[in-house]
Amino acid sequence: MARHYRSDLYKAQARAGYLFVLPSFLLYAVFVLAPVVVTIILSFAYYDISFGFFWVGLENYQRFFSEPRALTIFGNTLRFAFLAVTFNVAVGLILALALNRAMPAPLLYFFRLAFFLPVIIAAAFVSVVWSYFYSFDFGVINYYLSTLGLPRIPWLSSSQFAMTSIIIMDVWKNTGFFMIILIAALQGVPRPILDAARMDGASPWRTFSRITLPYISPVLFFCVVFASIGALQVFESIVILTGGGPGDATRSLSIYLVDEAFSGFELGYAASVSVIMMVLILIITIIQLVGSRRLVTH
Amino acid sequence: MEKKSSLVWIDRGIVAVLVLMGIMMLLPFMWLFSMSFRPAAEAYRMPPSFLPPTLDLANYQAVLDSSVPFLRIYWNSLVVAVLSTIGQLITCTLAAFAYARLRFPGRDGLFFVMLFGLMFPAQVTILPIYLGYAQVGLLNNPLGLVLMGLTSSFGIFMLRQFMRSQPKELEEAALMDGAGYWKIFWRISLPQLKPALSALAIITFTGAWNAYFQPRALIESQDAMTLPLAMDLLRGYLGQGNISIVMAAMSMAILPVVLLFLVAQKMVIQGVTFSGIRG
Amino acid sequence: MLRRTLLTLLAGASIAAVVTAPALAQSDETGSLRLMTFGGDAQLKATQDAVARFNEKYPNVTVEVGIDSVSGGWGDFVSRVLQQYNAGQQYDVYHTAVETLQSFAARDMFLPLDDFIAANDTFADFDQRLFELTEYKGSTYFIPSTWNNIMVNYNRALFEEAGIEFPSREWTWEEFADIAQQLTVRDAGGNVTQFGYEVPSFFFGLMPWFFSNGTSPITEDWTASNMTDPKVKETLEYLYDLIHEYKVSPVPGQEGIENQFFAGQIAMISRGHWIVQNAISSELDMDVAVQPARESHNTVIGFGAYGISSKTASPELAEALVLELLSPETQQAEGELGGAVPGRRSAAETEGFLAFPPSAALYYETLPDTQAVPSPANFQEVDQIVMRYFTAMMTGEISIDDGIAQADQELTRSFQRIARITQ
C-alpha cells in the first residue's frame, strides 16, 4: 500500500517535472540544438546558393588546419582567454575584497553604479569612445601621456600592445560582474573564524590564504569557468577596437569565423570553424571541471 | 592605538583609490554624454572634456528629425526587451524549479544538455534560424526576436542554483498536506525567488536591449529595427553620419538601462550573487 | 573634347524629353514590390521620397523598403542577399554597389536589362562610362545610380596659412609629399599638432595611389594577384615614407579621422563626395583636387546600381520603380543631399550640386580618368587580405618585402578557390 502510494507520487512528480521543463526545453531545442546540428552537418559540406550542395568530408577541417594563419588565430584565442579570465577574476576579487567593508550608503551606491554600469551597457554604444581613448595620434590617453612628457604608446597599432589594450577594455567591461558575485561569497565566510584568526595574530595575507580563499574557492571556480566560456567566444571587444589587426595580431576564432562566413560566402568552411570552436570550449571546460575536483576545497 | 589609526588611514587610502577608479570607470560614459551636446567638429578636440558645455538639445532634436524612425525603433526595443524578460522569467523559473526540486528520469541529463547552450555563440545558430523564420514569416518582425529570446541556459542555471540554496522544509510540508506541484511552485518557491528574479530580469532586459548580431541578421525594415541597428543607420554609409547626433542617440539608448539599474540595484545585486554560489 | 560635347548634347536632349513628356496619368495597377537599399539616414530619405513619388503614379502598389547599413562591408551585404534568395525572401529591386556585381551576376540572380535600357532614352543622360563598368559577360544587369571617386580633399585655410598655392591639376607625387610636409605643424616638443595628409586605411581610398602609378594589387582582369609588381612595392614604400620618413600622416587605422579633418588638424584627406555634407555643416573651407600623378592622375570609382531580381513576379512594375528611383528629381535630391555624385550628368550640373566644394565640377571632369574598384567575385577576401597586410606594413609590424610576399600567397590561394566556383 505504502509502496503503491510512493510510486504514484513518483509518477506525479515525474509528470510535473516534464511539464515544468517542457516550454524551455522545446524553445531550446528549436533555437539552439537544431541550429547546432545543422551547423555540424554543414561543416562536412560545400554549399552555395547557385552552385549547389556537395559533401566534402573532412575537407573543410583540413583546410583550417593547413591554413598557416590557423596557429596564430588559435594562439590569440587562448592567449586572450587566459589573460582576460585571469584579470577579470583577479581584479574582480581585489575589488570585492576592497569593497567588502562598512561604508556610507551614498559611497556604496556610487561604487555599484561605477563598477556595474559597464557590464550592462552594450559594447556597441561605447565603441566610439574607446577607439578615441586609444587612438595613437589623436587619443585621450596618449594626449595625457605626452603632456606628462611620456612617449606615446601605439595602443592599437602595434602587435606588442594591441592585445593588452583589448584586455584592458574587456576587464573594464566585465570585471564588475565577477566583483559582485565575489562580494557575496566573501560575505558568506563565517565571521567568528576570521575574528579568531585575527586574535591569534595571523597576518591578513595568512588569514586570506588559509581561511577566506578556501571558503570562496567554489565560487571563484564558477567565475573562472563562466569567464572562460565567454572569453573563448570573444568577438565584440576585438571587433570594435582592432577588427583583429594589426595583421592577425588580435584575430580570434570567432572573428575569423565571421570573416569567412560573410566574406568568402563559404558556409561549409565557416561551419567547420564553429565546430572547432565549440570543441575547444568543451575541452577547456572539461579540463577545468576535472581540475577543480582536485583544487577546490568543498 | 597607534596601529589602529594607521589601519584607518590605510582604509581611507583604499576607499580613495576606489573612488578614483570608479570615476575612471565612468569616464567613457561621461565623454559620450558630453559629446551629445557638442557640434561634431569638437568631437576629437584636445584636451578632452567630460562635461556637457551647454544643455542645448539640438543633437537630440536632430535624431528625432532624421529619416530613421527613432521613436518607433525605441518602441520596438522596449517591446522586445520587456516581452523577452517576461518570457524568460516564466520559462526559466518553471524549469529551474523542476531541475532543483523534482525527481524524474533523465533530469540531470536534460539539465546538462541545457547547460551546453552556454557554449554556442550566436554566430553558430543564426543561419538556420534565419531560414526557419523565412518559412513562417517571422523575418522583419520584432516578435521573431522575442520568440528566440524566450528562454536561456544562463537563466535556468542561475535560478536553479538559487533554489537549491533555499531551505526545502516548507515545500516538503506542503507536499505532505497534499498540495500539488503547481501550487508549491506558485505559492512557496516563487515568492522566495524575488531577488534572483529581479537579477535575471535586468540581465535579460539589457541583453535584449543591447543585442546587435541577431537583430542585424533578421531585420531589414527600418520600422522593425531595434536601437543598436538604428545607430548603424545614423552613423551612415562610410561614416558620413554626424558623430554628435549618433552620441545623442546612444545617450538616449543608454538612459533606460541606467534608470532600471538605479531602481532595481539592490535586488539585482542580491540576485546576481546567488548565481555563483553553492552548487 | 568631342566626346564630352556629345555627351552634354545628349544630356540636354534627354532633359528636354523629360520636360516635354506629358504628365503621367495615374495607373490603377495594383500589386506590391519589395525594394532593398543600402546606406544610412541620407540614402533612406532619398529612397523614401522617391517611393512617395512612385506612389503618386501608382497609388495601388505598395512598396516595402529594406535597408542594410553596410556596416559589415559589402561581403556581408552579398551574404545577406544570398540568404534572402536561399530562403525565397528576395526583394524585387536591389540597390547595391559595384563591388557586388560580379558575385550576383555570376549566380544569375538578376535580369539582364539591355532591352529596358535601350527602350528608355532617359538613360542617355547617364555617363556611358558607368554603363561600361556594369557589364558582365556582355550583358548589363545593373543601372548605375550614384557614384563616388576618390579625390584629395583639402582645407584651403591651412594652405593659405602656410602660404602655399592650391594644388594644380598637374601635381605629382613629389610635389604632393613636399606640400604635405609644409602643411605639417609640430609643437615645441616635436609632437605633431597638424598633419599634412592622412594615408587612407580603407581599400577603396587606397586604390588611387596604385592606379596613379599604373598598377594595382590584383591584375587588370581581376583574376590573379599582382602584388609582386615592382610598382606595387614602390607605391607602398612611398606611403610608408609619408608616415615614417616625412611624418606627415598619422598611423593608419584610427577612428574618427574625418572629424580631425573637419576640425582642421589634418590638411588633406583622400575621400569621395560623401564627406561634402559634413564639411558644410562643420563650416570647413574645403575644396577638391585631382589625385597626384606618378604615371597618371588616375583615381578609383565606385558606384551604386539598381538591379531587378530574376525571381520577381512583376518585372514591369519593378522597372517602373527603377525609373522613378533614377528620375531627375531623385537624382537631383541625392546630389544635393550629399553622399555621392548623381549618375545623371544633368543632376550634377545644378546650382545646388556645384555650390560646394568650389571645384565640384572636377567630379565629372575626372570621370574619364577613373578605374573601377577591383571587384572580383572574391572581392571581400581580396579587400581583407590587402588591408590586413597594408596596416601591418604601415605600422611597421612586418617589412614591406615580407608583407608583399605573404599577401601574394594568400591572394593566390583565394583566387584558386574562387576559380573552382566561377568556372
Same domain, yes or no: C309 and C366: yes
Q: What is the pLDDT of residue B95?
A: 96
Q: Is residue A279 part of a domain?
A: yes
Residue C320: how many other CB atoms lie within 10 Å: 19
Residues of chain A found within 8 Å of residue C75, distances taken between Cβ atoms: 262-265
pLDDT at B2 over 60: no
| Residues A92, A15 share a domain | no
A7, A142: one domain: no
Confirm or reject contact between B7 and chain A (CB < 8 A): no
Contact B197, B270 (CB under 8 A): no
Instruction: Report the number of distinct structural domains present in chain B.
Output: 2
Compute the C-alpha angle C288/C290/C293, nearest 5°: 150
Which of B56, B74, B94 delimits the end of a domain?
B56
- In degrees and rounded to multiples of 5, residue B219 shows phi and psi of -130, 130
Model confidence at B246: pLDDT above 70: yes
- pLDDT digit string (tens) for B154-179? 899 888 877 877 778 888 888 888 88
Q: Does residue A37 lie within any of the structural domains? A: yes
| Whether B134 and C88 lie within 8 Å, measured CB to CB | yes
- Among A82, A64, A80, A65, smallest CA distance to A250 is for A80
3-state secondary structure B268-279: HHHHHHHHHCCC
* Model confidence at C8: pLDDT above 60: no
pLDDT of residue C15: 43
Residue A150 covered by a domain: yes
CA distance B223 to chain A (A): 20
Does residue B244 fall inside a structural domain?
yes
C-alpha distance from C283 to closest chain B C-alpha (Å): 9
| B107-159 tens-digit pLDDT | 999 998 998 888 888 878 888 899 899 999 999 999 999 999 999 998 998 88
Between C379 and C216, the higher pLDDT residue: C216
Cβ contact (<8 Å) for C265 and A49? no
If asked whether residues B205 and B266 sit together in one domain, one would say yes
Structure confidence at residue B99 (pLDDT): 93
- Residue B38 domain flag: yes
B98 and B232 together in one domain: yes
Same domain, B7 and B70: no
Copy the grid coordinates of residue A196. Answer: 579568531
A:B CB pairs within 8 Å: 234
B23 and B70 part of one domain: no
pLDDT at site A49: 67
pLDDT value at residue C421: 65
Cell triple for C93: 529591386
> Which pLDDT score, from 0 to 100, does residue C10 have?
45
Same domain, A185 and A125: yes
Task: Give the pLDDT of residue B161.
Answer: 79
**pLDDT tens readout for residues B35-52:** 899 887 777 777 888 888
Kindly report the nearest CA distance between residue C86 and chain A, in angstroms: 6
At residue B274, the pLDDT reads 52
Residues C258 and C337 in one domain: no
Closest CA to B242 of B43, B53, B34: B43
What is the structure's pLDDT at A5? 59
**Closest residue in chain B to residue A180, using alpha carbons only:** B273
User: Same domain, yes or no, for C359 and C388?
Assistant: no
Model confidence at C18, pLDDT cuts 50, 70, 90, reads very low
**Same domain, yes or no: A191 and A101:** yes
User: What H or E segment, with its residue span, contains residue B89?
Assistant: helix B70-101
Q: B277 and A219: CB-CB below 8 Å? A: yes
Judging contacts by C-beta atoms under 8 Å, the chain B residues touching residue A120 are 202-203, 206, 210, 257, 261
Question: Is the pLDDT assigned to residue B4 strictly greater than 80?
Answer: no
> Same domain, yes or no, for C86 and C15?
yes
Same domain for B243 and B220? yes
Contact C86 A264 (CB under 8 A): no
Which of C32, C33, C69 would best serve as a mutation to test chain B binding (most B beta carbons within 10 A)?
C69
- Predicted pLDDT at B271: 59
The reply to whether C259 and C385 lie within a common domain is yes
C184 to chain A, any CB pair closer than 8 A? The answer is no
Which residues in chain C have Cβ-Cβ distances shorter than 8 Å to B236? Answer: 39-42, 69
Domain count, chain A: 2
Looking at the structure, tell me whether residues A32 and A170 fall in a common domain.
Answer: no
Contact B127 C39 (CB under 8 A): no
Total number of domains constituting chain C: 2
Q: Is B209 on the interface with A (CB under 8 A)?
A: yes
Of the pLDDT bands very low, low, confident and very high (cuts 50, 70, 90), residue C92 is very high
- Collect all residues from B whose CB is shorter than 8 A from any CB in C: 39-45, 66-68, 127, 130-131, 134-135, 139-140, 216-217, 220-222, 229, 232-243
Q: Which domain holds residue A21?
A: 2-42
Whether B251 maps to a domain, the answer reads yes
Residue-wise pLDDT for B186-243, tens only, equals: 888 888 887 778 878 888 998 999 998 899 989 999 999 999 999 989 988 877 788 8
Span A195-228, pLDDT tens digits: 888 888 888 888 888 888 888 888 888 889 889 9
Asked, for residue A47, whether it belongs to a domain, the answer is no
Residue located via cell numbers 586604390: C207
Per-residue pLDDT at B7: 63
Query: How open is the CA angle C349-C354-C355, to the nearest 5 degrees?
Result: 145
Q: Which residues in chain A (46-85) have CB-CB distances under 8 A to chain B? A: none
Whether C256 has its CB under 8 Å from any CB of chain A: the answer is: yes
Spatial CB neighbours of A47, under 8 Å, sequence gap ≥ 6:
A53, A54, A267, A268
Please check whether residue A93 touches B, CB under 8 A: no
Residue B109: count other Cβ atoms within 10 Å of its Cβ.
9
Q: Are residues B209 and B94 in the same domain?
A: yes
Question: Does the residue A199 lie in any domain?
Answer: yes
Domain range enclosing C331: 2-149+301-372
pLDDT digits (tens, 9 = 90+) for B51-65: 888 888 999 999 999
**pLDDT value of residue C14:** 45
And the C-alpha cell for A66?
Answer: 593547413
A36, A158: one domain: no
Instruction: Tell me the mean pLDDT in the region C257-272.
Output: 91
Domain match, B4 and B72 both: no
In a domain, A99, yes or no: yes
Chain segment C279-323, per-residue pLDDT in tens: 888 889 999 999 999 999 999 999 999 999 999 999 999 999 999
Same domain (yes/no): A141, A210 = yes
Model confidence at C5: pLDDT above 60: no
Looking up residue C404, the CATH number of its domain turns out to be 3.40.190.10
pLDDT tens, per residue, chain A with 298 residues: 445 556 777 888 899 999 999 999 999 999 999 999 999 999 999 887 667 788 999 999 998 888 888 899 999 999 999 999 999 999 999 998 888 877 787 888 888 889 988 988 888 778 888 988 998 888 889 989 988 888 889 999 888 899 999 999 999 999 998 888 888 778 778 888 888 888 888 888 888 888 888 888 888 888 898 899 889 988 888 988 888 888 889 999 988 888 877 666 778 888 898 899 889 988 998 888 888 777 665 4
- B25 and B122 inside one domain: no
Q: Which three cell numbers stand for residue B74?
A: 525605441
Cell of A106: 551614498
Domain with B241, as residue range(s), is 66-276
Nine cell digits for residue C172: 605629382
Res B221: pLDDT:
93
Closest residue to A120, CB basis, from B11, B147, B202:
B202
Q: C262: nearest CA in chain B?
A: B41
Q: Would you call B68 helix, strand, or coil by DSSP?
A: coil
pLDDT tens-digit series, residues C41-75: 888 999 999 999 999 999 999 999 999 988 888 88
CB contact under 8 A, A222 and B276: yes
Residue C157 has pLDDT above 90, yes or no: yes
Contact C233, C404 (CB under 8 A): yes
A107 shares a domain with A14: no
Q: Does the CB of C395 have a partner CB in chain A at under 8 Å?
A: yes
Same domain, residue pair C96 and C193: no
Inside any domain, residue B61: no
Q: Are residues C335 and C310 in the same domain?
A: yes
Residues 49-88 of B with CB under 8 A from A: none
- Verify whether the Cβ–Cβ distance C255 to A128 is below 8 Å: yes
Pick from B23, B45, B112, B119 the residue to mutate for testing the A interface (most A CBs within 10 Å): B119
Residues A6 and A131 in one domain: no
Question: Looking at the domain assignment, is residue A256 inside a domain?
Answer: yes
User: Which residue in chain A has the smallest CA separation from C109?
Assistant: A50
CA distance A232 to chain C (A): 22
**Residue A50, domain member (yes or no):** no
- Reading the block at residue B239, the C-alpha cell is 561614416
The nearest alpha carbon in chain B to A29 belongs to B114
Is there a single domain that holds both residue C263 and residue C190?
Answer: yes
Percent of the residues in chain B that have a pLDDT greater than 90, as a whole number: 43
Q: Does B278 have pLDDT greater than 80?
A: no
Between CA C148 and CA C137, with CA C101 as vertex, the angle to 5 degrees is 120
Neighbouring chains of C at 3+ CB pairs under 8 Å are: A, B
Shortest CA gap A66–chain B (Å)? 22
B92 pLDDT above the threshold of 70: yes
Q: Which of C83, C85, C254 has the highest number of chain A CBs within 10 A, making it the mutation to test binding with A?
A: C254
Same domain, C213 and C284: yes
- B28/A133 CB distance under 8 A: yes
Do A264 and A121 lie in one domain? The reply is: yes
Please answer whether residues C289 and C152 qualify as being in contact, where contact means their C-beta atoms are separated by less than 8 angstroms. yes
* Single-letter amino acid code for the residue at B89: L
C71 touches chain B (CB under 8 A): yes
Q: Do B237 and C38 touch (CB under 8 A)?
A: yes
Q: What's the confidence (pLDDT) of residue A50?
A: 67
For residue B268, pLDDT over 80 is answered with: no
ipTM of this predicted structure: 0.86
Of B100-104, B106-110, B237-241, C381-385, which gets the smallest average pLDDT? B237-241
Please count the residue pairs, one from chain B and one from chain C, whose beta carbons lie less than 8 angstroms apart.
101
**Does the predicted model carry a pTM greater than 0.90?**
no
- Are C196 and C93 members of one domain? no
A48-62, A241-255, C135-149, C399-413 — which is least confidently predicted? A48-62
Nearest CA in chain B to C63: B221
Count other C-beta atoms under 10 Å from residue A181's C-beta.
Answer: 27
Q: Which residue has the higher pLDDT, C130 or A102?
A: C130
Interface test with B, best of A18, A77, A97, A120 (most B CBs within 10 A): A120
- For residues A89 and A223, state if they share a domain: yes
- A34 and A125 in a single domain? The answer is no
Residue C21 has pLDDT above 50, yes or no: no
- CB-based contact, A287 to chain B, within 8 Å: no
Pair (C208, C87) in one structural domain:
no
